[in-house]
Structure 1
Amino acid sequence: MSIKRFFSALLFFLFSYSAYSQTQPTNFAAKFEYDLKLSVDANKRAAYLKKNNEQPSAYEKVFTVLTGTVQVANIVDDVKFTQNSYQITSIGNLIAGLSTALGGQRLVRESIGTISASGLLSSVYQEKRGNTDLLISRYEPPKKSITFFKASFRNPINSTTLEGQLIDLVNVGYQFIGRPLPTKPITYQVSDARSVKRYTLIPAEVWEFPIDGKKIKATRFYKTTSKEDTNTFEIWFSEGKNFPIRSVIGLSEQYGATIQVDLKKLPNL
């Protein structure tokens, strides 16, 4: 397990969907601010390293001093819809202490694509996690092809055939703004700029969250797991506006960590 992969997994986060008669609102623009909290099971991680005869990375030594659930980063998503297209820029900054310890690294992601009756369709998704290389995926539906790049579009890594609709790790949280939430399980093809995975989300119970002095009701969705994909994923969408209120990712035993992202306040619209 490399240092880059461990750090990327700890910063991996956030926020998946189906066709309805309604479409997303046009000329929508808002900023969504989130707190990212992390809990680390140091014993589980140590057991995994021992079993695989691996040594902990420098990043792990920073995170293993954490006890309980601790805020480690702030995230701001700049979301813009026009009539037929969208752009979402997401920037995650570590809080002061961790930023100093890890050299001011941050997570920068961007999703660009089109808006259809079935939601936000990803054309280009790119992300840069800390000191790792910029990774990009570009989907061209007419060619039924998705290509992955490293550093720039001049450096393709691989490509594969892909039919249907594609979303990504940034636009998943904003699929239902202006559209009703699904009431049945839904499956999506999701790009993480490295590969495409299939996520099936299942609607569950309604929770209440205190935000801006109000009690906001939100419906929980959770991802199915398998032997090949043991990571858990949950996301809550607010009633009415269908904003992403909370998301939780439970990383597998090799990381022993849980990431929770909470909306700090309702955006000004």
Structure 2
Amino acid sequence: MKNTPSFLASMRLFCLICLSLMGFGALAQSIQFEYDLKITADPAKRAAYLKQSGDAPSPYEQVFNLVKGSMSVATIVDKVDLRKDQYHINSTGTLGSVLATVLADQKLLRDSVGSVTKDGMLTNTYQEKRGNTELLIARVEKNVLNFYKVSSRTPPVGSASFSGRLFDMLTVGYQFLGRDLPTKSVTLPVTDGRSLKTYTLVRGEAWDFPFDNGKVRAIRYYKTTSKDDSATFEVWFSEKEHVPLRSVIGLNAQYGATIQVDLKKIPAM
């Protein structure tokens, strides 16, 4: 074939497309994490609190009443998509077969979208739906975090002002992918779709973590508590990949429950 002007132009275009695709592939990364969720609950303690306070339990709380002592209740799959300056995390929690039948196959659905900066993954929009409860939406709009129920097309049900960084319940666990683990305490403004709270995570001990029929060196970070916020939270990050191997959430005393989430296998990074 002769090197005519049209042929050379076509080849240049083809090369440009190939280079573009190669560049996109180098900047894009999609990682899937799968976790086992275990709950330790005291239904009697929760029932006593509800009776005293006069509050009504949410439909999703039925799972606590079905737990006898400590048991594995669900599998969580997080899909983390990273681009050069953007991220998207989609999370689905699926109940085990017995609980799924009793609770009509309710799921925990969470979604987070935002930007990737030198300060980590910064949240723009966080959504959460627990079983058949209403969809909760937290969205940054003109330096204000607005909260919605069901749809962001309706007026917000609340708002919170913030400055600088913003994180959510999904991005906390993946903040240090590709970044150094903090050597000191770190303060994170975190939203759960309902409100905005400030978490101070303290760097704790290192441990050879029993994992996947072996041991993985991990470092513990734990949240400080106060009189107004007695819920506990800790996460073990692998020293090498900086992925969350285990997260433990101790709910406020009125719930009488602890949630433990364990990574099943470290994915290829």
State TM-score, norm by structure 2: 0.84
Q: How far, CA to CA, are the matches of 2:117 and 2:187 in structure 1?
A: 17
Structure-2 residue corresponding to 1:158: 158
Q: How far, CA to CA, are the matches of 1:134 and 1:158 in structure 2?
A: 14
Question: Given the alignment of the two structures, is residue 214 of structure 1 paired with residue 214 of structure 2, yes or no?
Answer: yes
Q: How far, CA to CA, are the matches of 1:138 and 1:59 in structure 2?
A: 24
Q: How far, CA to CA, are the matches of 1:43 and 1:244 in structure 2?
A: 32
State the shift of 1:206 in Å: 1.3
Structure-1 residue corresponding to 2:110: 109
Q: How far, CA to CA, are the matches of 2:62 and 2:82 in structure 1?
A: 41
Distance 1:83 1:252, change over 3 A: same
Q: Deviations over 1:82-120 (max 9, x none)?
A: 101000000001101111111110011111000011100
Q: Bigger relative contact order, structure 1 or 2, given CA contacts below 8 A and separation 6+?
A: 1
Q: How far, CA to CA, are the matches of 2:146 and 2:80 in structure 1?
A: 25
Is this contact kept in 2: 1:36–1:259, CA < 8 A?
yes
> After superposition, where does 1:97-136 map in structure 2 within 5 Å?
97-136=98-137
Structure-1 residue corresponding to 2:93: 92
- Residue type of the alignment partner of 2:149: K
Structure-2 residue corresponding to 1:146: 145
Question: Given the alignment of the two structures, is residue 225 of structure 1 paired with residue 225 of structure 2, yes or no?
Answer: yes
Q: How far, CA to CA, are the matches of 2:253 and 2:244 in structure 1?
A: 27
Structure-2 residue corresponding to 1:13: none
Which runs of 5 or more residues in structure 2 are unaligned? 1-25
> After superposition, where does 1:185-200 map in structure 2 within 5 Å?
185-200=185-200
State the shift of 1:132 in Å: 1.0
Distance 1:26 1:211, change over 3 A: farther
State the shift of 1:69 in Å: 1.5
Identity among equivalent positions (%) equals 52
Distance 1:28 1:60, change over 3 A: closer
Structure-2 residue corresponding to 1:178: 178
Is this contact kept in 2: 1:190–1:199, CA < 8 A?
yes
Q: How far, CA to CA, are the matches of 1:27 and 1:57 in structure 2?
A: 39
Is this contact kept in 1: 2:64–2:257, CA < 8 A?
no
State the shift of 1:192 in Å: 1.0
Distance 1:192 1:63, change over 3 A: closer
Question: Given the alignment of the two structures, is residue 67 of structure 1 paired with residue 68 of structure 2, yes or no?
Answer: yes
Secondary structure class of the residue paired with 1:35: strand
Is this contact kept in 2: 1:211–1:266, CA < 8 A?
no
Q: How far, CA to CA, are the matches of 1:204 and 1:47 in structure 2?
A: 35
Superposition CA RMSD, Å:
1.9
Q: How far, CA to CA, are the matches of 1:93 and 1:124 in structure 2?
A: 23
Distance 1:47 1:153, change over 3 A: closer
Q: How far, CA to CA, are the matches of 1:151 and 1:43 in structure 2?
A: 32
Distance 1:193 1:53, change over 3 A: closer
Distance 1:42 1:267, change over 3 A: same
Q: How far, CA to CA, are the matches of 1:161 and 1:253 in structure 2?
A: 28
Q: How far, CA to CA, are the matches of 2:160 and 2:43 in structure 1?
A: 38
> After superposition, where does 1:1-40 map in structure 2 within 5 Å?
26-40=27-41
State TM-score, norm by structure 1: 0.84
